[in-house]
């Protein structure tokens, strides 16, 4: 990538930061730039995704505007991060989907969902569709299992391949020169940083979610949302296990594992998402990138729709509305899988890899510097 306004600005700001280093206790970005004289495009891709946008260094910066240095590291890195999403997208043309994300996601998810609803309405006889289904196999009377599973699997496969190829090329760009042993030894510390979101903690007191005040709200909301998400995924997997291995057919009783974990998961997701949306609304926009905020909002709304429609299936499963609700939920899930490679979802992959690189580098003693006076 040739240098341009975004890389020039990141380079300018990062140089000031390496000379300053006052923020070195806030997150992994500062130890990663310590002692560096120059930043290659690959360095910038690494740092952009290592930053968790906790905004700590924005409020702590002695050179924030109106100072003539006008340092805004979170913004510079967020702009680059957004562009890295497009740059590493595979197939290449997919990158354009990040620019008008709301439109692309709405069109695709909307299209898939409409198609699913239409197909259900047209193909399933009304007396089956609007009957109050009870008992084993009721779900599959509306949408046959092979179609349901097949469509979802195909969409998921696409997402996994697309994001997987992107991830490989991203890792190739940022991978440090390290032995396999060193990489493996870094896995556990990296995983700890990924799971705990340590870098959303501002080095201890918390991050500046909405203002100068420290809080851990963003981190906790994310944890709750991800936990809910994982519980929902688990619910689907357990259901598949019941269906195939144990030959127990859905719908399952309220107290069964799939229903419990799906129900709790869906509610947790909505709680986490609600909290994150509230923080997005209150946050100071200066240290973020407009494109990133849009990407966040689109994905939050999408996740909320999926979670809410899943809960609706649970709530309405004994009523004549079950058929259409189920079809709506399926449509949203499949649509989400399709847009996953052009959504916020990629952040988890790139950030995890950046954290792995940071953990590998951490094993090598860092240069200490004279930052005091």
Partner 1 sequence: MTGASPMPTIDVLVVGGGSAALCAAIAARRHGATVRLVEQAPVHLRGGNSRHARNFRLLHDEAHWYVPDSYGEDAFLRDLHRVTAGATDEVLARLLIRGSADIAPWLQANGVALQDPRSGVMPHSKRTAFFLGGGKAMINALYATAASIGVEIGYDSEVVALQLDDAHCGEVVIARGGIAGPIVAKAVVLACGGHQADRAWLRESFGDIADGLVIRGTPYVTGRVLRMLLDAGAKPVGDPAQAHIVAVDARGPEVDGGIVTRITAIPYGIVVDRNAKRFHDEGEDARKTHYARWGARIAQCPGQIAYLIMDAAGRARALPTALPPIEADSVAALAAKLELDPQALSATVAGFNDAVRESGTEALVPPKSHGAAALTTPPFAAYPMRPGLTFTHFGVAVDPQMRVLTTDGHLENIFAGGMIMAANVLGRGYLAGLGVTLSAVFGRLAGEEAARHAAR
Ligand X SMILES: Cc1cc2nc3c(=O)[nH]c(=O)nc-3n(C[C@H](O)[C@H](O)[C@H](O)COP(=O)(O)OP(=O)(O)OC[C@H]3O[C@@H](n4cnc5c(N)ncnc54)[C@H](O)[C@@H]3O)c2cc1C
Give CA–CA dist 152/236, Å, rounded: 12
Q: Which does 359 bind (CB under 5 to 8 A by kind): ligand X, partner 1, ligand HEM, none?
A: none
Q: Which is nearer to ligand HEM, 270 or 276 (CB)?
A: 276
Binding characters for ligand HEM, 318-357, by CB under 6 A (x = yes): --------------------------x--xx--xx-----
Give CA–CA dist 289/350, Å, rounded: 17
Instruction: Decide if residue 225 touches ligand HEM (CB under 6 A).
Output: yes
Q: Least distance in Å: CB of 33 to ligand X?
A: 20
Q: Which does 31 bind (CB under 5 to 8 A by kind): partner 1, ligand SF4, ligand HEM, none?
A: partner 1
Number of Cβ within a 10 Å radius of residue 30: 20
Number of Cβ within a 10 Å radius of residue 346: 23
Sign of CA dihedral 344, 350, 352, 355: negative
Give CA–CA dist 264/242, Å, rounded: 19
Q: Least distance in Å: CB of 21 to partner 1?
A: 7
Closest CA to 345 of 36, 7, 89: 89
Instruction: Decide if residue 347 touches ligand SF4 (CB under 6 A).
Output: no
Task: Tell me which H or E stretch contains 269.
Answer: helix 257-282
Chain positions 354 to 373 lying near ligand X, rule: CB under 6 A, are 372-373
Copy the structure tokens of residue 17.
């930061």
Instruction: Decide if residue 190 touches ligand SF4 (CB under 6 A).
Output: no
3-class secondary-structure state, position 215: strand
Q: Which stretch binds ligand SF4 (CB under 6 A): 61-69, 129-137, 298-306, 365-373?
A: 61-69
Q: Least distance in Å: CB of 205 to ligand SF4?
A: 12
Q: Is the peptide bond before 66 cis (omega within 30 degrees of 0)?
A: yes
Q: Which does 253 bind (CB under 5 to 8 A by kind): ligand X, partner 1, ligand HEM, none?
A: none
First-to-last alpha carbon distance for the chain, in angstroms, is 39
3-class secondary-structure state, position 4: coil
Q: Is the peptide bond before 319 cis (omega within 30 degrees of 0)?
A: no
Q: Which does 369 bind (CB under 5 to 8 A by kind): partner 1, ligand SF4, ligand HEM, none?
A: partner 1
Task: With beta carbons less than 8 A apart as the criterion, state whether 341 and 94 touch.
Answer: yes
Binding characters for ligand SF4, 28-57, by CB under 6 A (x = yes): -x---------------------xxxxxxx
3-class secondary-structure state, position 207: strand
Instruction: Decide if residue 47 touches ligand HEM (CB under 6 A).
Output: no
Give CA–CA dist 285/276, Å, rounded: 14
Instruction: Decide if residue 244 touches partner 1 (CB under 8 A).
Output: no
Q: Which is nearer to ligand SF4, 27 or 142 (CB)?
A: 27
Q: Which stretch binds partner 1 (CB under 8 A): 60-68, 103-111, 122-130, 164-172?
A: 60-68
Q: Which does 300 bind (CB under 5 to 8 A by kind): ligand HEM, partner 1, ligand SF4, none?
A: ligand HEM
Instruction: Decide if residue 25 touches partner 1 (CB under 8 A).
Output: yes
Residue 145 half-sphere exposure toward CB, CA atoms < 13 A: 11
Residues 6+ apart with CB under 8 A from 317: 133, 138, 251
Write the CA distances from 283 to 51, 74, 369, integer angstroms.
17, 13, 34
Instruction: Decide if residue 229 touches ligand HEM (CB under 6 A).
Output: yes
| Residues forming the site for partner 1 (CB under 8 A) | 15-16, 18-26, 30-31, 34-37, 56-57, 59-69, 202-205, 212-213, 366-373
| Residues forming the site for ligand HEM (CB under 6 A) | 52-53, 194, 197, 200, 218, 222, 225-226, 229, 276, 280, 296, 299-300, 303, 344, 347-348, 351-352
| Residues forming the site for ligand SF4 (CB under 6 A) | 16-17, 20-23, 26-27, 29, 51-57, 60-63, 71, 73-74, 199
């Amino acid at each position: 990538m040739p240098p341009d306004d975004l890389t020039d600005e990141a380079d300018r700001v990062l140089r000031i930061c390496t000379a300053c280093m006052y923020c070195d206790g806030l997150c992994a970005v500062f130890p990663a730039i310590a002692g560096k004289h120059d930043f290659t495009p690959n360095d910038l891709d690494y740092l952009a995704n290592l930053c968790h946008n906790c905004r700590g260094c924005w409020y702590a910066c002695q050179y924030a505007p109106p100072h003539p240095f006008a340092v805004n590291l979170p913004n510079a890195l967020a702009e680059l991060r957004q562009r890295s999403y497009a740059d590493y997208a595979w197939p290449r043309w997919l990158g354009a989907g990040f620019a008008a994300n709301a439109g692309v996601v709405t069109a695709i998810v909307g299209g898939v969902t409409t198609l699913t609803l239409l197909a259900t309405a047209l193909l399933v006889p009304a007396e089956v569709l609007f009957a109050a289904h009870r008992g084993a196999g009721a779900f599959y009377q509306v949408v046959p299992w092979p179609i349901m599973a097949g469509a979802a699997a195909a969409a998921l496969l696409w997402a996994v391949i697309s994001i997987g190829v992107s991830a490989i090329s991203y890792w190739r760009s940022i991978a440090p020169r390290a032995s396999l042993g060193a990489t493996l030894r870094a896995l556990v510390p990296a995983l700890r940083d990924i799971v705990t979101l340590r870098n959303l903690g501002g080095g201890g007191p918390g991050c500046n979610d909405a203002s100068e005040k420290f809080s851990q709200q963003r981190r906790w909301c994310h944890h709750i949302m991800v936990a809910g998400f994982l519980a929902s995924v688990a619910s689907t997997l357990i259901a598949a296990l019941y269906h195939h291995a144990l030959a127990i057919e859905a719908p399952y009783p309220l107290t069964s594992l799939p229903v419990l974990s799906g129900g709790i998961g869906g509610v947790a997701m909505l709680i986490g998402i609600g909290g994150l949306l509230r923080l997005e609304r209150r946050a100071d926009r200066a240290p973020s990138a407009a494109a990133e905020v849009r990407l966040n909002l689109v994905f939050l709304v999408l996740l909320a729709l999926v979670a809410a429609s899943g809960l609706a299936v649970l709530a309405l499963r004994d009523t004549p509305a079950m058929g259409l609700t189920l079809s709506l939920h399926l449509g949203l899930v499949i649509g989400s899988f399709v847009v996953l490679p052009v959504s916020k979802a990629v952040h988890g992959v790139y950030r995890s890899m950046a954290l792995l690189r940071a953990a590998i580098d951490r094993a090598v003693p860092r240069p200490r510097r004279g930052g005091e006076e």
